[in-house]
Structures are given as structure tokens and as C-alpha cells.
Structure 1
Amino acid sequence: MNELQTIRAHHDSLPGPAPQVSAHAWELLAAEAEAERAGSGSHEPTPRRAPGRGFGRVALRAGVVVGLAAAVTAGVIVVRDDGPSPLATRPASAAELLRHAAAVSAGEDLKPRPGQFVYVDRKDVKWTVGAASTGGFEYTQDVRREVWIPAADPGKALTRSTFGDRQMISGTADPGVQPAGTVEYQRAGQCHMEASPAWSPDLGDLPADPDLLLAKTRADAEAFVDRTPPGKAPLSTEEKGRIVERILAMNLVQLAGNPFTTSGQRAVVFGALSKMPTVTMVPDAADAAGRRGVGASIKYQGPDGWEREELVFEPKTYRFLGWRSLIEAAQGGGRPQESLRGGMAVMEARIVDSMPDAPEGTPTFC
């Protein structure tokens, strides 16, 4: 568990973790549930990311969570809200909203020629909480992520991260945080979480039917939860069910945003999400860049309280804007209030003819 906590503390949600990282993440989910039940709370307070931001949201995948679905104009995907709705009726429910989004995504795609690259520009909000010699800390930090994906070999993708200002929530600064203005490059294969589709051999073979995708994702989650580590007490049926629902929601949301997910695959993901009975509609939502939209939300019980994954879409076109993750905590007077625990906003995606030369060296947290 310490290894995963380190990954969660020092990684910035680059596209899809390798399979072994996903497995470690699932093990952490089970361990957290067991700790909850035992009331131990004994694990060492090391820095960690919000669930699903810095580790595997999938046996299929959850981060970099980047949606490529948006308006295609002359080979450029821009995220904007203009013109009438392309569909005849406004969605009356989250399930209908997701079906609308699936229909829009199914008709979009960027098609780079050999020698070209898909360029994705997005804003990430990363959340970190933990403890250091100076005491506990909690903060969010804005990061601009730029990803170049070669048409000929997506496995040679390059990510450039430009770190922005940090917003302290409590405590003093984490000594390991990258200061504002720090720029880091990551080549595919350099780190635990690769800018490469190699994190999952199943990515190119995702079921083309929403029901089958939902069933496969749930079966993968259940298979993991059914494995009891040696020396650990089996989880109760209730605990297993809670963890499965959490994994299921995180995996599908991250898969929706993975930059290596095609528009057609993303449409299937939206279709699968539309079939989840726990999905609800958020009439007025906002992505990580503050753009207003309409949201589809999935709420589940996490180790620290109720959590919620929220996909945000343009209110007229239903194109994917990004996602947010929130956690509910009791405030003064016992009233629950949500706090942001991470998010992503797609700013642009387009076809380009080159990508920058990355300097030698390894990212700080790799």
C-alpha cells in the first residue's frame, strides 16, 4: 500500500497507468475498506491523490483523463457552446443526456495522416493531501497538460506539464511540490503511468456494445474484489458491493477521458454510463476551467465519505468538456458540503505536423 500511496502522491494523472499499477490501486481500495471496517485508520499519513486521479480507474481504462470529443472544424476540435442543439429534445434525465452525448461523439473523430500528430491541450486540477515534518497539508494545483500522439505510433506519445499556482486548503506546503512555472516532459514508457496506450492491452478491443462494456467492467471489478490477500479477512458482501461500484464509476469516467480512446469508443462508454441506475443529472455544472455546462453525476461511498464523479457537457451541443471529482464532508452545523478533489477540462484538440523535442532527463516524480 505504501508503494501506491507514493504513486498517488507524486504522479499527475498522465494517461492510463500500466496494468500493474491498476492492480495495486485496486488492492488499495480493498485495503481501505478493510481498514474502515476494523476502524484501524493505522496506515501512515503519506501524501495521496484523490481516488481515481493518480491511479488506475480501470481494468479497461481511469486520467490522462482527456476527452477528444468536441467540435471538429478543419481538423481542429474546439470546445465551445454555440448554435442550437443538434438533437430535437432537451435531455430530461442523466441517462438521456449521456445517450445524446454518445450520439454526438459517435459522429466525431480526428483523423491524422501518417507523419502527423493529435495534439491535446487541457487544464488539470490535481489534489494532494498528506503529512510532512512540518505538519499536515492539503492543496490543489493547476497543471496545463499538452499531449502529442503520433498517428503512426501512439506508444511514442509525449506529454508536457506546466505547473501553475497552488491553492492551499490547510496546513503548510508539501516540500515535494513543483513550484509554479515548472515545466516537465514525459515520454511514453518513462514512468509508472505512461503517456501510452500500453497501460491496457484491452484498449483496442473494448466491447462495441454499451451493455457488454458495462458487464466487462463490472466483472473485472468483481474479480479483483473477490481476491483476498493472504492473511487478510474476507470483505463482507456490503463492503465488496461498495468497492465494486466505486471501481466501476472511476473506470468508466476515466476511460471516457483517455486521449487514446477513439470517439466511437467514447460513445460506447457514455452509453454504458447511461445504464447505471446511480447516475443523476446536474443541470448547472462546471468543468475544471470554470465553463458552465450540464453534468452527469455518479455518487458512491468512498473510504473518506461520499464521493462523486461528474462528467460535464456543453449545454447545447452535448460535447464533452471534462470531468470533476468531489468529496462530501460535514461542515459546521453538521451540514454536508462538497470539496473539489481533482478535475480536467479539454481546451483544444487538433492535428499538428510536429511535436517538440523533449530534453533529456526524468520527470521529478517518476
Structure 2
Amino acid sequence: MDIELTPEEESFRQEVRDFLKNNLTDRIREGAASSPTVFVEPDIGQDWNAVLNEQGWLGYQWPKEDGGTGWTPVQRYIFEKECALAGAPNLTVLGLKLVAPVIFNFGTQEQKEKYLPRILAGEDYWCQGFSEPNAGSDLASLQTRAVKQGDKYVINGSKIWTTHAHWANKMFVLARTDATVKKQAGISFFLVDMNQPGISVRPILTMAGDHEVNQVFMEDVEVPAGDLVGEEGQGWTIAKFLLENERGGSCHAPKLLFDLDQIEEMSKDVPDGRGGKLADDLDWRRRMAKLRLGIQSLEVIELKILSRIAKGQKPGPQTSLTKLLASNLRQDVDLLAVDLFGPAGLQLPTARPLYGENAPAPFRCEKAQVAAARYLNSRAWTIFGGTDEVQRTIIAKTVLGL
């Protein structure tokens, strides 16, 4: 695996750096830094999406024929890394990185023409209707039903942990269309309009007091037959494809390194309680070094997956390894931030957002203000997209052959 950049790739990296320097505003950067939730808030995320869309870079993971950039895997990695190092917010993943690849890989031409331009323009904001109260890690046991009636399907059931359903106007949904076959074989994939009778959204507040996830109830919700993606019973195959993108569709290491670098820099000014600075404390330096080595190892794995994709191969089950490592490293980095600020890192204001003119005044600094909330919210990393136990099982069976 050659990880040296070509002259053309170096030139592209400089182009990205120049663009970020000129277009990533302080408001967007500060909003991202003060967002404690896993997903960036829509007002910040959509503003950044609009900037990238105007540049023609928003669909950077999409094929050119479907409205994307057509960039190589290396260019996509360079873009993600430079955005992370510049402190840019994460993109709106549910539409851009999850349902869009499903549509341009499995959808009809009509579905592509209808939905893909609206995702880029910010006209549709998507949420994911997968997990249910009794079907989380065992997703194939879902009970939401879709019954065909003429030229439409009627869906009844509920979904839980539905991120940003209170903001979304569209939801991609897994529903059972056949209960007589093997449970994986009877599931189908639908594109659902949230703005219709029969859909209700109930908020679920996280431990940090953030409203990020919800439970969604569907009662006789109608979906045109043209919004079935793929064939009936193909939903499980499509869901596995989507989850591979969710688990390994982004490079996590650069953002983790960015956050760790900030913690290391701030520790130079924090007293260790013994007349010195925290940055010089041996236990602290040991924790920093262990985390840095872990993140660098993750980056090597992500680059190996990138190499596979560059050769035209699928990312494969190795994405479960990156999901497992990235989730636990994220939690460790967020814990380190809480420890960095001591008592100031325990403040947990209930007001939201923590940025803008109406934000509550922080105790000590903005980064200390967000530390505890970010730590609590990052507990979800080892659950969403498949729990750690699910990832270990996939790795054991498909990567290690156990």
C-alpha cells in the first residue's frame, strides 16, 4: 500500500486547504465545536452543506453521473482529512452518505432524478427508520409491516432512536412485506414522506439533555409503490450495503487526531496540582501516547480500506473493525477532555444551543462547557450502527474466520 501522494494529489490538497481557509466561517466552525451531539445541528450542518454545494463538492462520495464530484477514493480521503483538521462540521450523513448511495446503486432512474438533486439542494432532510423497540442489534426481527394495496404500500409500526426525525421531512424505512419466509428475506426498503397523516414523532432526551433521537410511530402511512427501492424482499441486502457505508464510509482518524491535538495543546496551560503543568505529568502523557497510537493505527486500517476501494473492491467486513475502534477511541478522547478541565468539565447546562448570541455563559471556556455533554452523548457510539458486540461477531466470523 503506497500512502505517498502524487503531485496531482498534493495540488488537490492545497486546493482544499485554500477553499477551507476562504469559506469555512468562524460561525460554522464555532458552531461545530460547541455541538455536543453526535450529529451536528441542522442550522450549522445545512449552512455548511450549502457552501459545499455551491462549490460543487457536496456530493464528494457520489459518482459524477449522479450529481457528485466523481473524485477518486484518495481525493475523498484528502477532503475529509483537511475538513477535520480545519474544524469543519460533519456533513449531514443520513442523506448524503447513507440513503443517497442506496438510491444511486439500487434505485430506479426516476428515484435518482427525484431525490438526489433535492438532497444536494438541502430540500430533503432524511432520517433513518431501522431500529425498533424489540429489534435493535437483531434488526432482522423488525415487526413494522408494509402491505401492498394497489399502487401503494400501507405501513404500520414504530421506529426508535431515530436521529433528527423531528427535523426530517423524509425517512428511509425497513418494513416487513412477507412474514412467511426467513425473516431476513421478507424485508423491503422504502422512501417515506414524513409530512403526512399517520406519522407522529416522540422525543427522546439523551443523558446530556439533548434532543437528538426520537421514536416514530406510523399508523396507516401510505407510500407510493414507486418509492420501494429495489425489489420486495431485497431490503436486507440493501440494509447491509448501507450499514457498511455507515460503519466505514468515513475516515474517523483525522477528526480524532484533531481533537486529541487540541486537548494536548490546552494541557500545557492546565496546572497539575503539584506546581507543574498537566502536559508534563507522566500519567497524562502515557494516556495521550496510548490514544495517539490507537488513532494512528485506526488511520492505517482506514487507509487499507481506501486502498481496496481504489482498486475497485468493496470495503467489506473490515468496516466493522473501523467502527469498533473508532467508537471506543471517540469515547476515550471525550473522557480525556472531561479530565482535562477537572470540575469545569463537569458543567452540564440544559440550554441549547451552546453557540450563538443566546448561548449560556460558560464556566472557564466554551470547550469546558461542552465536555461533559459530549462525553455523555458519545456513549451512543458503541451502540448505533451496530453495537460493539455485533461488530466483534462480524469480525470473528468474516474477517478472522472463527
- What is the TM-score when the length of structure 1 is the normalising length? 0.29
- Considering fraction of residues, name the structure with more strand: 1
Structure index of larger Rg: 2
Higher relative contact order (CA 8 A, sep 6+): 1
